[in-house]
Amino acid sequence: QVQLVESGGGLVQAGDSLRLSCAASGRTFSSYAMGWFRQAPGKEREFVTAIDWSGGDTYYADSVEGRFTISRDNAKNTVYLQMNPLKPEDTAVYYCAARSWGYSPNRDEYNYWGRGTRVTVSS
């Protein structure tokens, strides 16, 4: 069992930066691949980025490639999402998720989810 709690969201202007954190409970955090997803109002939840258990391999959606960076600290049971520069279209609730096997862009393949943190980017 893994419990995930996101933090770091807020209201920012276009061009600004934010770093989201996702703190995980449990001693087996390092065995999970982690992903970030987001859901904008009226839209489906979409894949943003993912990282393998070691942090050595990452995968990004085209919409955030080059602007967002995922990382993890297994000693702190935490995964991060650095977002820079932000655009108004990045406005959404951001969720982190854990997957028992390798990372995936498919939300249906993740076993555990946090409750999300809201990011609002004004133009």
Say which residue the tokens 């893994």 belong to: 2
Q: CA angle 47-44-16, nearest 5°? A: 60
- Residue 29 falls in which region: left (phi positive, over 0), alpha (psi -120 to 50) or beta: alpha
Strands 117-122 and 10-13, sheet pairing: parallel
What tens digit of pLDDT does each residue of 38-92 get?
999 999 999 999 999 998 999 999 999 999 999 999 999 999 999 999 999 999 9
Give the per-residue pLDDT at 19: 98
Residue 113: pLDDT over 90: yes
pLDDT at 30 over 90: no
Q: Please, what is the average pLDDT of the chain?
A: 96
Please report, for residues 29, 54, 73, 87, the alpha-carbon distance to residue 120 in angstroms, rounded to integers and kept in the order given. 29, 30, 26, 9
Q: What percent of the chain has pLDDT over 70?
A: 100
What is the rounded CA–CA span in Å between residue 49 and residue 81?
9
Closest to 53 in 3D by CA, of 25, 81, 30? 30
- Measured distance CA(6)–CA(114) in Å, rounded: 6
